[in-house]
Structures are given as structure tokens and as C-alpha cells.
Structure 1
Amino acid sequence: MDLSRLYAQLEFDRLLELAAGHCQSEAARQRLESWKVSFERETIQRNLDETTEAARLLEEKFSRDGLGFSLLPEDVGFLAHFGAGMEPERDDIIHLSELLEVCTQTTRRLRKLSEHKYPTLSERLARFVDVDQLAKRFKQTFAPDGEVRDNASSDLKLIRSRLTKLQVRIEQKIRGLIKKRAPDTAEELHLSIRNNRLTVNLPVGMLRSFKGMIVDYSASGASVYLEPEEVVELNNQRQELFLEEETEIRRILQHFGAEVVAQDDALRGDFELLVQLDIIFGRARFSHAIGGVRPEIAADGEMHLVRARHPLMLNEFVPETVSFGPENELIISGANAGGKSLLLKMMGLFVLMSYSGFFVPADEGTSIGLFDSLWVDITDEQSVLNNLSTFTAHLRFLEGLFAHLARKPADAPLTLVLIDELGTGTDPEEGAALGYALMEHLLTRPVKVAVTTHYDLIKTLGEKQANCKNVSMGFDEANMQPTYEVLEGLPGKSFAFDLAAGQGFSPEVLKRAKELVASGETSFADAVRSLRAKQAQLEQEKGNLMRERKSQQQASEKLKERQKAVARREIELRKRMEALRRDFEAVADAFLAEARKEISQRLRSSKGRTGLEVGSRFSADFRKQKENLLANLEESLGLTPPSAVSPSANLTAGTYLQLPTLGIAGEVLRIDEKKDKLQVLSQGKRITLSLVEVRKLLLEAAQLKDAREGIPHTPEITARERAKLGSQLDASAVSRQLTTAHQLDLHGHTREEALPKLEKFISDAIYRDFDTVMIMHGVGTGALRAFVHDYLKRSEYVDSFRDASTQEGGKGTTIVDLK
């Protein structure tokens, strides 16, 4: 398989040139332009994974402008100049500076990538060898322009300091001579360096005014560069210092060169990794530029192109969808210049792009088969240049293909074969027969074959063989123009006569040509025309059906959304109601405090009634007003009174639950059948109850309602069970409803200490309109418990009291019901 010819036939070489323009370094551009595609599955997947991760990284973290790879040198041949006995040039030093800069910048920006999010890139980056120390030494040794820094060594710093001072001394000496010997022209004369010696530039006519040695002449010969005899010795000292500087610089370069040589393998390896990264990010940028999607790689060799566009003709290309699924052979036919060859080329081009890690310009759902190789036979000028006829070139191609199939392993993936204009280049009848026979033979070999043809005989294979499929390129017969649409399952008509007529071809010639066409061929063309008409009708009916189905789905979805919206509004209103209820009760509690004055006034005016009777009557009046106000509030929010849940109904999350005996009303949040748990949101609190107990309580409520309405029923639970259930639910309700304000803890108190607290606690409870409170006194000797019970017996505000159940705290706690 000649890759260079394959690339040229499918124009993959042109695509690589375009993609290379998205790389930043010249090294990466050259590598990508000379890319060698791999047909190994692991390599293909890794290439696509790397492009995927690079595209995500560019999108999320870095701009598409790049990561500084543009500084990379074209190659690392300059590293050899740092070896023993070698002296690097300034360009070598600058190339090394740029390589070290990219290494440190890349590791700084990419080393901390998430291995979970960028596994493939992280694997590459893990191969980087740290050269930060070498980069640090470089910056200490060299300036950005490649010159050795003064501080590269203490000796060099001293030499250059002496040079600077000596040069100032020489310049001052020469300027003094000029002022002394040529005061009138002192401003016109200037110092210059010739042959690395400080001189004065003099007109030839002024030579007698100065004594010294002529070092050089000007280009015109009108002036000379004279080294005055007074500075000759100083210039000699300057030369000696230059020699010392050169020797020290050479020593520094040799020492640094040894460090570079020690890191030679690391630098070369890092360079290769950086070039590969530049290629990967270049692929990602190019894939984004062409609107590409990542194709799936199908191990079974199936290809599905969804609205595919040719990457070299994006603006003018009509998207094409073609499915080359379980079939072994695909026959593409249709009108001349209708896009058959272009579709065939695009199929091959998409394979090369995908295998090289490029995304393809198509829609989601596009997949490319896995093949062991790609064989393409498209007539080109190369055959002519090699003195081969078209037919001979076809035979040479088939010879190479059969040789490949003969030696390929049995477990290797399928081979993809693309042949343009099968059977051409010889007698049409013989060519069609040879093409037909070839296609029959290839059906028995491990290949996927796609061909373009005008021969009706070859098209009949698509109707006779189950694993052979016809597709054709669409053609608008009314306007005599190709539509470039791929029509599945139908052979195409060449429309040669129609196109010729449209181009003004001679009517007499066309008439004679039609007379010469065999009747069988005419019948086949008519059959194709009939099939195309039927397919168009079916496509129209299919479109109508799909639109109707879509309309029904949309209507159903809208209804579901409305139902969900109503349910959400109901829940939201319930929550708002609960919030308003809490706010109202808070205001009501505050109001009760203010109402004490009114109670006092009523007490003064009451006759024959106790204060508790007056307070209770006032509390009852107030509760009735509060309940009426809350009912009006529900009605203003548009809420219907919540209906009690039927005992036979399924309790589900979102159900509104009312348990009057427990003082609970709210939305069911969660149900756990296994753990016998039900959680409800009531008055802003999450309350957990026994699911079995709740269902029994609902059943009793329903039976009680039936009894009131005279509906007979059969008791489902005994009186003993009801009593037991009632006590459990009462205990559960009390323990959940009593807040800190409802509790008094007298543990460790004497009777004298307990009495004032007990009196204040009961008094506050009456004023707060509490129905039930809890007094915790402990068991101990029983003295404190007896004292509390004795007080409660004598209190006019206490209706009853009892020892708490085990769940509520046992005998160490007393539950008090207030009047």
C-alpha cells in the first residue's frame, strides 16, 4: 500500500497541509505534513482520545491561541554543539533557551492535569523529564540574547569590570589629546574601534598633528583611523583582558556544555513530547475549525456517515448521509457529475482522518469501521506518467489487493476497498462482466467494497445479493440538476441522454443513440425510474407519519408538563401555607402576651368564675378566630381543603396527610416499607412515624366517619389493639411535639429549689396556651417525684397527669395535661 499515492488519491495530503497550519511550531508542522497513518486499533483510539482531551482542555482552560509551542526549534541538532571539544554558537544557545522555556512552561501549565479527566494526555506528560535545574542554570549563565552574563563566574565579573575601567581611561586619554592638538576641530573628531583597538578618526590633512600608528583607512580614503602612541600600551592591556575574557567564557561554556550533555537524552525526549503535544493540539484546533465530531470506531467494519461534509469543500458541499452497515458491498451509481466519486473519496478520507486522530465534519452518530488497510483505485495522472493504460492500472491494483488478501491473518479486521468507475478502461460489455465477476468473488473474501459504476449489470448485484447494497445520487429531473442527496436502496440512472439534451446536443444524434440502446437496458432504466418514484412517494408518506407522531408526542408531553406544573404549584402553595401558618402562630403567640391585660380585666369583671375558666374561655374564642383566619388564608391562596387519605390508597411521596389525633398535617416526604418508616413535613418540622401505625390510624378515622354517616362496617382491629395503638401514637406525638419550652428539668433540685421553678413553669404554660407539658424529676429516692405529684394534685390549672411511658422517659418524667 503506497501511502503517498493513497494520500494523493483521497487528497489527504492537502488536508494534512491545512491541519498543519494549526500547529504552532515548524517542527510539528513538518511532522504532521509527513504523517503516517496507523491501522492499529489501540493507536487509533489513543489518537482520538488525545484529540478529545486537547479540545476539552482548550475549551475549558486555555485559549485556542496556544501553549507557547511556537518557540520550539525545528530540531535538536544544535545539542551536539554542546559536546566535549565543541563550542556552541550564539544561535545554538538561543535554541537551547527556547527549548528550556517551552519545557518549563508546558510542565508548569499541564503537569497538574486531572488524571481522571485527561488520562491520555496525563500519560504522555508523565514521560516528561524535569529539566528545571538546567533551565535555572541557563538563566544564571546566559542573557536573553545568548551572551554570557557577567555573573556567570567571579573571574569573568572581575575581568569585565577591569575592561570597563580601562576603556574609560583610554577614551579620556584620547579626548584629552584631541583637545590639546586640535582644539578648533575637537567637536568634529570622534573615537572609533578598529581591529578591536580604540582609535581616533582624523582627516588625512591632520596626520601631522598626531603621532601614532595608522590602523585603517576610510572607504573614501579621505580619513584615517589613528591609534595615538600615548594609548598604544593601554590598548595592549585591553587586548590582554579580551584574551582573558575569551578564555574564561570558553571555560564557562565547556562547564555548562557538560551539564547539557548530561541532560541530552532528557532534552531530546522532552522535545519529541512537545512536538507530539503541538500536533495533538493542532489536530484539536483543526477539528474545531471544520466543525468536526468524534467518530465511533466500529470493530465490525460498519460505516455510518450522518450529514457528512467534505472537509476540503465545507462551504459548498451538500451534507450526505450514507449507511454501509452489515453489507459487504456498496454500489454507488447515478448521474454524471452527480457526486459519486466525491462520496467515495470522502468515505476513504474520513477513514484516514479518524485513524489519525482528527474529528470528521459530520453529525453525532457517525461511525467509522475498523480495517486492517485501505485500498483505493481512482484513476489518476500517475498511471499515465508511468506509461500505464487505465485498464492496466486497474489490473495492477487488483494484483496487489489479491496478494494482500492472500497473506493477511485470518483474525485480522476487514480490508476496505474503494474502486471508482469499476470495469472502465476496456470494452464496456467485457468491462461490466469483469466488474460483476470481481464483485461476486470479493463477496467471499474478508473485505468491505464500495464502488461507483454506470454499468447496469453491476447494479443488478444490489438486487440479487443480500449482502450487497445499491445507493444512488439524487437527481432533479425537472431542472436536470444533481441534488447530491444519497438515496438508499436504489440503483441510479446515468441520465446521459437527458444531460446531453440539456447541453444542446444534436437532437438527431440523440435520437439515433436511443435507437441503438438495447431494449433490455431501456427496460432497466425504466424500472429504476419507477422505483425512484415509488421511493419518493414512500418517503413523503414516511415524513407525514413522522410529523404526525411528533405532533402527538408533543401534545402528550405538554399534557404531562401541565400536570406536573399543577402538582408542583399545589406543593408550593402548601409550603407557602405552612410558612404563613408559622408566621401567623408566631404573631398569635405575641398577641397572647398582649392579651393578658384583657384577661385581667375580664377577671376583675367576672362574677362567680375562676381565672382559669375565664382564660380557657378566652383561649377557646381566640383559637376559633385563628382557625377561621387560617381557613380564609387557604382560600385566598387558591387551595382546596386537603382531603383525608383513604386507608386503602397508596401513600406516596407528595401526598398530603392529615392525622388530627396527632395534630399532624403536611406533605409526605419519604416512605420506607422495609423499615416501616414514614416521614412527613408538618409545621416546618420533619416528623418520622411508623407506617403501619399511620395506616391503622387512617383506617380508624375512616370507620369513625362511616359510623357518623350510618354506614355499617366490620371492625378490623380490636378495642385492645386500638388502646395499644393509641397509647403508642400518643407517646410518639407527645415526644415529638414537646419543644424545650414545654419541658422543665428538676434533676438534682431540693423541694425548696423546685417549688418556685415549678410554679413559674406552670404559670408560663397557661399563658402560652400549652395543652401538655413535661416535668423531668428523675427516679432517685422518689421524694422529688412525690413532691411534684402532690403539687400537681393541688394545682387548679392541671387537668391530669401521669408517669411517662418508656419511650417518653419512664417514671423519671411526668406528663401533665393542662386545663
Structure 2
Amino acid sequence: MKGIIDKLDLSGYVREFEHFLARPKPLFLEGDQQLHGTMIRLMESIDFTPPKAVVPLDDAIARLKKQGVLTLSVLFEWVKILRYVRYLSRQKFPQKVLDWLDEIKIDPFFESIEGFFLDDGSVNVAMDERLGEVTRFLERAKIDIAQQMSKLLHTEKLQPYLVDKQVHLQQEHETLLLKAGFNHVLKGSIVARSQGGFFYVVPQSIETLRAQKEHFVQEREALLYEWAKTFSAGMQKWVKFLEFLNRRFDQIDHYQARIFFAKAKGYSFLGATKTPTLRLVNFAHPALAHPKPITIDASANIIMITGVNAGGKTMLLKAILAATWLAKYLLPMRIDAHASSIPHFKHLHAIIDDPQNVGNDISTFAGRMVEFSTILQSRDAIIGVDEIELGTDSDEAASLFKVMLEALVEKGAKIIVTTHHKRLAALMANRDDVTLMAALYDEANRLPTYEFLQGSIGKSYAFETAQRYGIPSNLVTLAKAQYGQDQEKLSELIERSSELERGLRQKHKELDEKNAQMSRLLNTIEEERHALHQEVQGAKVTLSRAYVDAIDEAKSAAKAIQREEIHRGMNKAHAKLPKAPPPPVKKVEPIKVGDRVKYLTNYGTVLALESKEAFVAFESGMRMRAPLVELSLAAQQKSKPPKTTLQKPTVSRAALKLDLHGLRSDEALEKLDQFISDALLQGWDEVLVYHGIGTGKLAHAVNGFLRSHPSVKGFTDAPPAMGGYGAKIVTL
């Protein structure tokens, strides 16, 4: 794995990520990757503390299987894991995470081991009275040694022989650094000499105290070993559980490291899925200090990147492969995770470096062929090849590489290549599963833009690049002349193609922005419609409840005997009915004789005014009286040159209406007969009659009357917006 990490420039990223792990481990997460991704997203939503550093415990498990005894330091490593699992189980994670943690069933036996250690790993002496007593004696011995050394340092007779007033630790002994002749005033043992010729001396009184201290140390170690032996014997019965706990903690460690690394770097998670679409939106390679995010659709089977030298072709190739590798291992990255998608590949190959060196005695092209022979055996792989034409004649190799690329596609591979092979790009361009990408060049500033144009073969700009890096201008000019006019024309055609593609891309971008704006507008309208619908439904429920309560009160009142009780009950029922808002008062605009007015859908001029009516001459040629409240001022018609025309009066469809709601059948038919007569006199050819639905009696009577009327040509149900089944459009 290290080889692919180095090739994709991810070494720094991996080193930085590994600092977030509680203990070293492979980066790959075994098991269901989608489940791992779900658990990471669920745990990411809750703030929690990462675990303390823990050593690998595989050797400890192997030792327990052989009935060995674990040291206290190793036992404390198990305690750290147990305590962290208990800590996580107390957090407010989503239920799926808590259920997963609950699978770790910790036996009460382990509580005694946990209680034996304090938080810093030191022993809790309260667990053993003998251990506590020995520990106190040992501390007393240390204090006595320190006090005795301090006393000696301040002894007046010893002052002339002291080199300094410090206690020196030599060969695990507390010593004083003394000059020659000290034996006249102090008895002790010399354990070493300094470079200056002085003596490191252990005073005799200190040796006695030290012997006592060593006795207590040995007694304490014996007691601690007994505890370690007891705990180890108990843990031997739980080896299977410890193996499970060790694996589960590795999973927890994988999850927490990814979560805290992502938070520290501002990265997002995007796992590999079964989707065939490889689309990166605003991805930034982690190796770049100031990256320019890339957005690319690399869903085609073959991506061919051409164009300017030093324009970012190799980095684009590495970016696509790096994003795929990070997604495969569920490692966070800087990307728009919601808009991006990355397929899962079983294998990932990168042919980037020049294989030629002194040690392997192989040419560049031969080395490339060795690598191709290996990857030709792979299935379900993503393959990156940098400078595919490296080491051989481009014209000869174009057909060879074309055939090999097609063979890889047949094995389900996705290939990303960078090339200056215009011939190879042209050979591959006619395939539907090939996407061409060109690195763009800023000719005005003579610099690469590190942007890429999809669907075009790019120019290498070798002459411009050479001049930018210091090749004399006269040599570049001579090279251009040698290159030839035909090749120059081809380059101009390529440049023109790039310009057209850039213009098309800009138009696409503008259309996408407009589409996005329309989508946002439609979403807003839909949200408002939904809110209004909810409001109407709520109002319906409120009204329904109010009417039910009022009806119940009315029924109760109807059961009363006394008239006063009935009135009181009905008043109470009426009070429960919702109060209807007052009808809006229509503002009547002042109308004068000679004004142009609108009545229903007809326009006309006012000839005379009365208190509530106006006599109007309509433009259709008809004259009639109309209520003032139903008239509104209309704009004056623009004057037109006079011309002689013959007009047939026309009337808007069903503009004249009659409402028969609430009438008895005989009353309704009488009004309907009069209404049809008036309409015929006024020149209407269609009228609208409202009879309602109700019990159907009135509708039946109206239908029968219309069928028998000699002036009615026909009738039909009105559209839903004009009354539906409760109204008829009558043709006269």
C-alpha cells in the first residue's frame, strides 16, 4: 500500500491521519463499507472525547492463551479500553450506535481489574491492606533517605570536601560528589569518579536506609505480581471476549480517528458505492498547500488528458486516483460530498514513475510494458497512466496503446491517461466511452491556468513552456520554423476548437445557473403551496369541530320541553359557530355620463345615470341598464382612423348568468323562462344557469324545461371552474 500512497502524493496525509489513531493499525476497515460509513456519520453528529493512546494487545492475547502472566502495564492497557467503551455507552449517540456498543457485554469480573488502577495507571493501594502498608513504609524510607542526604549536605565538617550541594544519581544510588580526603570526616563507598577526578560517594548511613528501601520495594513487587497473576488467571477464561473486544476497539479507533481528523481539517466523508458514476465536485488534493478545487465528470471508461506542459495534467490524474483511494478506505477529504459520487474498485493501479534505473537494467518503454502486462490481468480496477507515450515513438505506439486500452475496458477497468499523443487521442475520440480533456493555457500571460476543458484535444504549448523556463527566444523561433506550417495550422485548428468549447461551456454554465434559479423558485412555490394547503386543512378541521359541537348543542336543545330551554340551547349552539368575516365592501368609483366602463366582459359608454343604475351603450351595439356596483371605469380606447366595417354582434361565452339556488321548482322555472326571453332580446347566444346539486329535484326540473323550450338549441354541464354539475351552459 505504501507504493500507491507515495505515487499519489498522499504520504503526508497518511502520516497526519495516523496521529489521530489510538494505536497503529492498517488503514483498511474490514467488513461492510456502507455500514462503516453509516456508523461514522451517526457518531460524527455527537461531541465526544477521543481515547487515550493504547498499545497493540495481540501479543497479550497470545500470552494469555499460553497461561502466561501479564504485566500491570499491559493490564492497564485493557483497563483503558474497557473504560473507554463504558464512556461511549453513556453518550447520547443515535440508537443504532448504542445498540452496536451494547454488543460488548463486559462481565463484572473486569470491574475488579478496573478498580485496581487509578486514572493515571498507578495502583489503587486501597484494594489491598498489605500493599497499602508496604507502600507507606517505602514512601517513609524515601523520605528518610532524602532527609539524611540533606542533613549531610549541611554538615559543617563536610563542607570543605563538597564539590557541589546536589544529590547525584549514579548506578541507581543516591551519592554526593566529594573531593579527595573526605574519608577523614565521612564513611561511605565510592561508586564512580567524575571527569574532574572527584568521587561519587554513597554515605554509610544512606546505605543502611537504602537497604531498608530495597526490602520494601521487593515486598511491594511481590504483592503486585500476585495481583497480576490473579488477574491474568481470571482473564484466561475470557480470551474469546478479549479478542472480540480488541477487534471492536480497533473499529472504534478507526471511526473516531476519521471523525476527529475530518473535524480538524474541515474535510467531508464520501464513501465508495456501487454507482457507475465517477464525479468530483470541488475536490482538492490534500498534498497541495493552496489547491485549486477541481470539478470533473470522469464517468467514461477512458479519460484522456492532453494539453499544455506543466499545466496540471499529472496532478489531475493523481487527484482522480487519490479521491478514489480515499473513498475506498473511507478517509475524509476536501470535496462537495453531496454532489459527488465515486464507484468502488477492487484494484487501483498508478503507472506514474519512470521504471528505468541502473539497478533493474531495463528501458523506460520495456518497464512500462512490464507494468501493463501485470494490470492486463486485473478486473474491476481503476488505472492511471502518466505520459503514456513515454519512452517510444508516438506514432508506432498509438495503435498499440489503443488496443491495450480497449482490452482493459473489456475487463471492466476505468483508465485515466495523460498524453501528448494527438494521434492516440484522435484514434480514441470516436469511442462513446472516451472523454477528452485539455489543459488550458493563458496565452496573454503565457502561463497555464490549471483548468481543464472537457471534450477537446489540447495543445502542448511546448515552445511557450520552453521559453517560460529560460530557453533563448531565437532557439524557440528556429524550432517553430522546423516544426512546419502544416503542423502550425493544425495547432491553430486545435486552439479554435478550444475557444469554441470554452464559449459553449460558458453558455452551459449560464443555463445551469438559470435552471438552478428556476428550481429554487419552483421549490419556494411548492413550499408555499404546501403551507397554504396545511393551513386550509387546519381551518377545515377547526370548522368541522365547531360545527359538530354546534350541532350537538342544537340536538340537545331540541330534546328540551320548555321553549325557554330550547331558545337558550339554540343560542348556545349558535355561539359555538365560527364567526364569518364581514363581506368586503366594494369601493364604487364615481362614474359620469360619457365614461367608458366595463360590465362583466363587455365595454361600453355611459349614456345616462340614475340612483343605482346606468344606461350603457355597449361597443357590441347593444344598449341596456346595468347596476352601478357592477360597473368599473375602463381605459379610453385609442383613436383609430375611421373605416367602414360591417360587424356582427358577438357576446362572450356565458357572460349572462342566472342563479336559481334556494327557489322552488315552479319559481325557478318562471324566472328561467323570463331570463331566456330577456337574453334573446339582448342578443345573447349563450347564458349560464346555476341550479346547484342538492337533492337533484331542481336540476331535474331545469333540465326538463330546457329540453322543451323552443329557443334552446342545447345545453351542457358547466366546466368545474364555472360550477361544474351544479350549473348549465345554455346555447340559444
Shorter-chain TM-score above 0.5: yes
Is 1:277 the counterpart of 2:258 in the alignment?
no
Shift in CA distance, 441/709, structure 1 to aligned 2, threshold 3 Å? same
**Mapped contact 1:156–1:248 kept (Cα < 8 A):** yes
> Runs of 5+ in structure 2 lacking a partner?
158-166, 174-181, 192-197, 548-562, 588-658, 674-688, 701-732
Number of matched pairs: 564
Is 1:438 the counterpart of 2:404 in the alignment?
yes
| 1:31 aligned partner | 25
| 2:434 aligned partner | 468
| 2:463 aligned partner | 497
Q: What is the distance in 2 between the residues matched to 1:493 and 1:237?
A: 86
Once the two structures are TM-superposed, the CA of residue 501 in structure 1 deviates from its matched residue by: 4.5
Is 1:70 the counterpart of 2:59 in the alignment?
no
Q: What is the distance in 1 between the residues matched to 2:473 and 2:12?
A: 43
Q: TM-score, normalised by structure 2?
A: 0.61
Is 1:365 the counterpart of 2:345 in the alignment?
no
**Mapped contact 2:306–2:460 kept (Cα < 8 A):** yes
CA deviation string 1:314-363 (max 9, x = no partner): x52222222222x3222111111111111111111112111111234222
Residue 311 of structure 1 is aligned with which of 278, 286, 294?
286
| 1:331 aligned partner | 304
Shift in CA distance, 236/495, structure 1 to aligned 2, threshold 3 Å? closer
Q: What is the distance in 2 between the residues matched to 1:165 and 1:329?
A: 74
Shift in CA distance, 259/706, structure 1 to aligned 2, threshold 3 Å? farther
Q: Which amino acid aligns with 2:10?
A: F
**Mapped contact 1:425–1:431 kept (Cα < 8 A):** no
Query: Pairwise mapping of residues 205-354 of structure 1 onto structure 2 (< 5 A)?
Result: 224-226=203-205, 250-295=225-270, 297-299=272-274, 301-313=276-288, 316-325=290-299, 327-354=300-327
- Out of 550-559 and 417-426, give the one that drifted further: 550-559
Shift in CA distance, 167/556, structure 1 to aligned 2, threshold 3 Å? closer
Shift in CA distance, 702/291, structure 1 to aligned 2, threshold 3 Å? farther
Once the two structures are TM-superposed, the CA of residue 420 in structure 1 deviates from its matched residue by: 0.7
Shift in CA distance, 333/113, structure 1 to aligned 2, threshold 3 Å? same
Q: What is the distance in 1 between the residues matched to 2:389 and 2:357?
A: 16
Residue 375 of structure 1 is aligned with which of 349, 356, 366?
349
CA deviation string 1:203-237 (max 9, x = no partner): 96689xxxxxx775799699953599xxx9x9999
Query: Pairwise mapping of residues 533-548 of structure 1 onto structure 2 (< 5 A)?
Result: 533-547=499-513
**Mapped contact 1:339–1:484 kept (Cα < 8 A):** yes
**Mapped contact 2:10–2:286 kept (Cα < 8 A):** no
CA deviation string 1:637-683 (max 9, x = no partner): 999xxxxxxxxxxxxxxxxxxxxxxxxxxxxxxxxxxxxxxxxxxxx
- Out of 521-530 and 293-302, give the one that drifted further: 293-302
Residue 356 of structure 1 is aligned with which of 329, 334, 350?
329
Q: Which amino acid aligns with 2:404?
A: L
Q: What is the distance in 2 between the residues matched to 1:421 and 1:227?
A: 76
Shift in CA distance, 387/156, structure 1 to aligned 2, threshold 3 Å? same
CA deviation string 1:545-573 (max 9, x = no partner): 44555566667777778888999999999
| 1:152 aligned partner | 128
Q: Which amino acid aligns with 1:310?
A: H
Shift in CA distance, 11/638, structure 1 to aligned 2, threshold 3 Å? farther
Q: What is the distance in 2 between the residues matched to 1:223 and 1:703?
A: 130
Q: Which amino acid aligns with 1:152?
A: D
Q: What is the distance in 1 between the residues matched to 2:92 and 2:525?
A: 47
| 1:396 aligned partner | 370
The structure showing larger relative contact order (alpha-carbon pairs under 8 Å, at least 6 residues apart) is 1
Q: What is the distance in 2 between the residues matched to 1:355 and 1:48?
A: 11
| 1:12 aligned partner | 10
Once the two structures are TM-superposed, the CA of residue 107 in structure 1 deviates from its matched residue by: 3.0
Q: What is the distance in 2 between the residues matched to 1:499 and 1:528?
A: 17
Once the two structures are TM-superposed, the CA of residue 251 in structure 1 deviates from its matched residue by: 4.1
CA deviation string 1:67-124 (max 9, x = no partner): xx22423445467788999776xxx313422431331331342378778633xx854x
CA deviation string 1:600-632 (max 9, x = no partner): xxxxxxxxxxxx99xx9xxxxx99xx9xxx89x
Q: Which amino acid aligns with 1:468?
A: V
CA RMSD between the two structures: 5.7
Q: What is the distance in 1 between the residues matched to 2:140 and 2:495?
A: 100
Once the two structures are TM-superposed, the CA of residue 419 in structure 1 deviates from its matched residue by: 0.8
The alignment-based identity, stated in percent, is 18
Q: What is the distance in 2 between the residues matched to 1:456 and 1:400?
A: 26
| 2:559 aligned partner | none
Equivalent position SS for 1:711: helix
**Mapped contact 1:470–1:488 kept (Cα < 8 A):** yes
Is 1:136 the counterpart of 2:90 in the alignment?
no
Q: Which amino acid aligns with 2:460?
A: S
Once the two structures are TM-superposed, the CA of residue 158 in structure 1 deviates from its matched residue by: 7.6
Q: Which amino acid aligns with 2:54?
A: L
**Mapped contact 2:64–2:232 kept (Cα < 8 A):** yes
**Mapped contact 1:421–1:454 kept (Cα < 8 A):** yes
| 1:711 aligned partner | 672
| 2:682 aligned partner | none
Once the two structures are TM-superposed, the CA of residue 247 in structure 1 deviates from its matched residue by: 5.7
Q: What is the distance in 2 between the residues matched to 1:385 and 1:280?
A: 42
| 2:390 aligned partner | 424
Q: TM-score, normalised by structure 1?
A: 0.56
Shift in CA distance, 385/531, structure 1 to aligned 2, threshold 3 Å? same
- Out of 431-440 and 473-482, give the one that drifted further: 431-440
Shift in CA distance, 709/526, structure 1 to aligned 2, threshold 3 Å? farther
- Out of 432-441 and 521-530, give the one that drifted further: 432-441
Q: What is the distance in 2 between the residues matched to 1:536 and 1:499?
A: 22
Larger fraction in helix: 1
Q: Which amino acid aligns with 1:107?
A: R
Is 1:481 the counterpart of 2:481 in the alignment?
no
Is 1:525 the counterpart of 2:491 in the alignment?
yes
Equivalent position SS for 1:338: coil
Residue 110 of structure 1 is aligned with which of 89, 94, 104?
89
Q: What is the distance in 2 between the residues matched to 1:266 and 1:452?
A: 52
Equivalent position SS for 1:483: strand
**Mapped contact 1:461–1:468 kept (Cα < 8 A):** no
**Mapped contact 2:67–2:236 kept (Cα < 8 A):** no
Q: What is the distance in 1 between the residues matched to 2:206 and 2:462?
A: 93
Once the two structures are TM-superposed, the CA of residue 711 in structure 1 deviates from its matched residue by: 3.5
Once the two structures are TM-superposed, the CA of residue 544 in structure 1 deviates from its matched residue by: 4.2
> Runs of 5+ in structure 1 lacking a partner?
186-191, 198-202, 208-213, 406-412, 582-611, 617-621, 640-697, 723-819
CA deviation string 1:170-221 (max 9, x = no partner): x9xx99xx9xxxx999xxxxxx9x9999xxxxx96689xxxxxx77579969
Query: Pairwise mapping of residues 558-577 of structure 1 onto structure 2 (< 5 A)?
Result: none
Q: What is the distance in 2 between the residues matched to 1:291 and 1:165?
A: 50
**Mapped contact 1:293–1:359 kept (Cα < 8 A):** yes
Q: What is the distance in 1 between the residues matched to 2:172 and 2:425?
A: 86
Q: What is the distance in 1 between the residues matched to 2:454 and 2:124?
A: 72
**Mapped contact 2:89–2:102 kept (Cα < 8 A):** no
**Mapped contact 1:324–1:330 kept (Cα < 8 A):** yes
Equivalent position SS for 2:52: helix
| 1:409 aligned partner | none
Equivalent position SS for 2:7: helix
